[in-house]
Structure 1
Amino acid sequence: MDYLSHNVSENLKKIRKAKGMSLDQVSEQTGVSKSMLAQIERGTANPSLGVLGKITSGLRIEFQRLIDPPRMDYSLVTPEETVPTKELEGQYKVWTCFPYQDSQSVEVYRIDIEPGGCYLSGSHGEKTREYLTVTEGILTVECHDHVQKICEGQIYKFETDQPHVYRNQGTEKVCCVCFFLDYTRII
């Protein structure tokens, strides 16, 4: 199931339940058959724009509410159980734990750097800031002509509007968690 079908499936279920409606009631109010609604909610149907239009009109909701990523009240990510977003054998692994989505202004990464390893990151654009905490080892970050050593348990903040470098100059693996804030999106 593609992400859009997944969004519609999850959102329709949540909206219907929030309104306290059965599939029969939604069918009656929208003019879409109960079987089609059930297939949409299961994610086995690929509804046309016309069907989605009937649903939004009948339920008196904005079209965007059906297609937006569903609200997630909780989410647990175990990076080691997922495929790294970026990887250079013997150097580093990067996992995108929580990517930017729609109106969200924060992105979360986990970065592991092997002894002697180095990870070069490009600029994240204007008005971007990184908050980084080291969970294992000692990390050196170079950005804005400044070099900062960050020890386990410390938290470091810097502007990421230009390329920057993460280095492990030690003999043990370094692990850190990075929170990127895009404050161009903050109103």
Structure 2
Amino acid sequence: MDYLNKNISINLKSIRREKGMSMDEVSEQTGVSKSMLGQIERGEANPTIGTLGKIVSGLRVDLQDLTRAPGIGVYEVNREKLIPTKEVPGRYAVYTYFPYEKNRLFEIYEIEIEPGACYVSGAHGQGTNEYIVVHDGELTLEIEKSFYHVKREDAICFETAVAHTYWNKGQNKLKFITVFMFKM
């Protein structure tokens, strides 16, 4: 399940309970079947924009009320259920743990790069720093024609105002966590 479907799952269940509505009542108000609503609440469905439109109209809420990060004390991300948000099969995959949110000062991703491949990233704007921790393999990071080698269990931090490239020049898959921090 990706982060957006997880948000929708948690928020739909919360909105339904806050309104004191049963699944039958929500189904009647939205025109979405009870079974589909159950699948959405359990995070088993990937609702279309049309289905989301019916839900927000029937419940009289904003789309943002369904999609924003839920205001809960604990937000668990199960890596096995994440699907890549960016991917070129046989080259790289990017998994989103905590995406950009208006009131959050950071983002967290995991990037996997196959041997001999690279992932090119554009500039992220002034005032953004990137922190990387390598879990498996060795990262060769290229920033403005300078190269930095980051080994397993080591880390690096840099300003991301310019384009940069993550290279896997090793023989094994490269895996690392990257955190973007935004200055206010």
* TMscore range, shorter length: 0.5 to 0.7
TM-score with structure 1 setting the length = 0.66
Structure 2's unaligned 5+ residue stretches are 30-57
Q: Which structure 2 residues correspond to residues 7-86 of structure 1 after superposition, within 5 A? A: 7=11, 10=14, 37-39=19-21, 44=26, 46-48=58-60, 69-86=69-86
Of residues 79-88 and 119-128 in structure 1, the stretch that sits farther from structure 2 once superposed is 79-88
Query: What per-residue deviation string (whole Å, max 9, x for no partner) do you get for residues 4-60 of structure 1?
Result: 7964762685xx7xxxxxxxxxxxxxxxxxxxx3128999253337xx9xxxxxxxx
RMSD: 3.2
Aligned residues: 148
> For residue 92 of structure 1, what is the amino acid of its counterpart?
Y
1:115–1:174 Cα contact (<8 Å) kept: yes
Q: 1:78 to 1:67 in 2, by over 3 A?
A: closer
Query: What per-residue deviation string (whole Å, max 9, x for no partner) do you get for residues 132-184 of structure 1?
Result: 0000010011113321100011110011111110000010111000001121x
CA distance in 2 between counterparts of 1:43 and 1:174 reads 49
CA distance in 2 between counterparts of 1:176 and 1:42 reads 45
Q: Which structure 2 residues correspond to residues 1-187 of structure 1 after superposition, within 5 A? A: 7=11, 10=14, 37-39=19-21, 44=26, 46-48=58-60, 69-183=69-183, 186=184
2:11–2:65 Cα contact (<8 Å) kept: no
SS at match of 1:166: strand
> For residue 38 of structure 1, what is the amino acid of its counterpart?
G
CA distance in 2 between counterparts of 1:159 and 1:101 reads 20
1:9–1:43 Cα contact (<8 Å) kept: no
SS at match of 1:87: strand
2:106–2:181 Cα contact (<8 Å) kept: yes
Query: How much has 1:99 moved relative to structure 2?
Result: 0.3
Q: Which has the larger radius of gyration?
A: 1
> For residue 101 of structure 1, what is the amino acid of its counterpart?
E
SS at match of 1:10: helix
Structure 1's unaligned 5+ residue stretches are 17-36, 53-63
